[in-house]
Structure 1
Amino acid sequence: MPTIYVLNGPNLNLLGEREPDIYGSITLDQIRDWCEADAAELGLEVVFRQSNFEGEIIEWIHEARRQAAGIVINPAGFTFTSIAILDALKTFNGPKIELHISNVHQREEIYHKSLVSRTATAVMAGFGALGYRLALRAMKDWTA
């Protein structure tokens, strides 16, 4: 059964509370529940994590090199600032989906230049929390 790492960056632990007009009312725990249920249905195993710390996310990417068939990553604020996360993702040879809940291209200019996109297999933005479910379906096709 292929394992997909679903990694979430800073402040995503506040989903449902933080700027619900942009990110919606669904919590990260609800998204985790969806991902775990969808993964079981799709014949995938999911490792779902969130951290506000860049180094911890990098360690998980390193771990995924040995254990995962694919990575779905919502790097949140690190999308635009972390060369270290970019470099870690470059070492992962499987498919990588960069995911954003909001359509970052409709937002302020600061959100338009992703470093992570340089290594992502695909980028998903603007699907809301549903993006996680869509990303797992794409991973199922890519890792079959």
Structure 2
Amino acid sequence: MTQSRSVLLLNGPNLNLLGTRQPEVYGSTTLAEIEARCIEQAKGLGLTLEARQSNHEGELVDWIQAARQQFAAIIINPGAFTHTSVALLDALQAFEGLVIEVHLSNIHRRESFRHHSYVSLAATGAIVGLGAQGYDLALQAIAARLTEV
């Protein structure tokens, strides 16, 4: 694991539609707004942040694997892959840094198939149901944990 204070922010499928897709569930904040806010907040916390989004599972796996050499932490909102992707789980388990799972909605108050998260098995922590604020909390947790090391 790198000793940097670099964070990789990954967002999975359909999160590129934030702000327009089911705003009653996911809010009206766009992904671009979330990413910009996270980049600014990271600077204030003494972190650097790189944000990426993909609708493709394999691309997310590739990014997680490459992160092993570059990043101290990953914040991931895997979207629907949360509930289906053993491949993401395996990649995250090979990552030695911090992993914070974020979900805009409370997945435990939704359809039963959304209650299980493969990603949680590899996550240091999970933040669910707090909307875009969940990303802010993830960054604060990462900054605090990296300072402890």
TM-score range, shorter chain: over 0.9
2:59 is aligned with 1:56: yes
- The corresponding residue for 2:115 is 112
**Stretches of 4+ aligned residues off by more than 3 angstroms:** none
Structure 2 distance, partners of 1:95, 1:2, is 11
Three-state SS of the structure 2 residue aligned to 1:67 is coil
Structure 2 distance, partners of 1:3, 1:28, is 20
2:15 is aligned with 1:12: yes
TM (norm. structure 1) is: 0.98
1:76 Cα offset (Å): 0.4
- The corresponding residue for 1:28 is 31
Give unmatched runs, 5+ long, in structure 1: none
1:119 Cα offset (Å): 1.0
Percentage of matched positions with identical amino acids: 51
2:68 is aligned with 1:98: no
- The corresponding residue for 1:130 is 133
Residue among 88, 103, 110 paired with 2:91: 88
User: Deviation per CA, 1:17-51, whole angstroms, max 9, x where unpaired?
Assistant: 00000000000000011001101111100010000
For the aligned residues, what is the CA RMSD?
Answer: 0.7
Three-state SS of the structure 2 residue aligned to 1:97 is strand
Structure 2 distance, partners of 1:115, 1:42, is 29
Three-state SS of the structure 2 residue aligned to 1:96 is strand
Structure 2 distance, partners of 1:25, 1:112, is 23
User: Deviation per CA, 1:67-100, whole angstroms, max 9, x where unpaired?
Assistant: 0001110000000011001000000011111110
Residue among 14, 25, 46 paired with 1:43: 46
Give unmatched runs, 5+ long, in structure 2: none
**Partner amino acid for 2:142?**
M
